[in-house]
Amino acid sequence: KTLIEVILISFSLILIINLFEEINFLKDQDVSGYYPIFLSLLNAPSIIFDILPFIFLVSTLWFFIKLINKNELSIFKYTGITNNKILGIVVVFSFIIGLFLIFGYYTFSSKLKSQYLLKKNQFTSDDKYLAVITENGLWIRDEVNETTNIINADKINNNLLINVSIVQFDKNFNLLQIIESEEVNIKSKKWKINNPFITKKNATDKLESVNLNSNFDIEIINNLFSNLSSMSLMQLSKLKKDYSKLGYSTVGIKVYENKIF
């Protein structure tokens, strides 16, 4: 009962705080007045999961304070229930609840978080840009000055994309050219393509280097894959395998998995 009370209080506070944030985000959008509440409800469960250690701590303290104030510890002693037994019951109860929260509640909250991000992304201007990691490496769809670039890289090594293929299309999706390179520096949004092979109109030229303007750099790409709370445990495991194949650091995922457990 104490745990439920603390969760409800925390949920209410998070909902109110998050509601102001969503109202501010949607202030220039033509949406229903209930939409910020809807977004807040989608986001709140994942925030609750993030602060569960704090919730458990407060609940335990509150539970024992209630026992002391009502002098129930003395009553338990008279009935043969020692402090160690009470503590053991609390530990076992916490363990069972913890298993449910990890394998049940977390899956539920991650799905809501995923829907929250999808709904919120509808109101951003990033729909022309997309980056995903698959078993075939990193894929990026990037639009700059009415030119669409479809980019594939086998690996990421520090600020470099390794074994890169860039297919460029005009605004009508007619093929412009294909750029292939073993190494592309993406430290800034002005990419430096080293020793590229450029195929255009059935002719291939090799250059020493060429620059390519992009909406992405290494920092933006890193941030795109940092929202792990919208993924289930199975999705995290798959993403970790894809990261390993790509040569991408899996430290962030491992840290997040440890945080969950």
Residue-wise pLDDT for 171-209, tens only, equals 888 989 999 999 999 999 999 999 999 998 888 899 989
Residue 151: left (phi > 0), alpha (psi -120 to 50), or beta? beta
DSSP 176-232: EEEEEEEEEE-SSSEEEEES-EEEETTEEEE-SEEEEE-S--HHHHHHHT--GGGS-
pLDDT for 28 equals 77
Query: Do 210 and 252 share a domain, yes or no?
Result: no
Query: Do 17 and 116 share a domain, yes or no?
Result: yes
Query: Do 173 and 244 share a domain, yes or no?
Result: no
- Range with the poorest average pLDDT among 60-69, 142-151, 177-186, 240-249: 240-249
Q: Which domain holds residue 158?
A: 130-220
Query: Do 25 and 78 share a domain, yes or no?
Result: yes
| Domain termination site, one of 121, 144, 172 | 121
Cα–Cα distance measured from residue 8 to residue 13, given in angstroms and rounded to the nearest whole number: 9
Query: Do 48 and 72 share a domain, yes or no?
Result: yes
Cα–Cα distance measured from residue 106 to residue 217, given in angstroms and rounded to the nearest whole number: 32
Query: Do 6 and 116 share a domain, yes or no?
Result: yes
Mean pLDDT over the full length of the chain? 81
Query: Do 191 and 245 share a domain, yes or no?
Result: no
- Asked if 196 contacts 137 with a C-beta cutoff of 8 angstroms, the reply is no
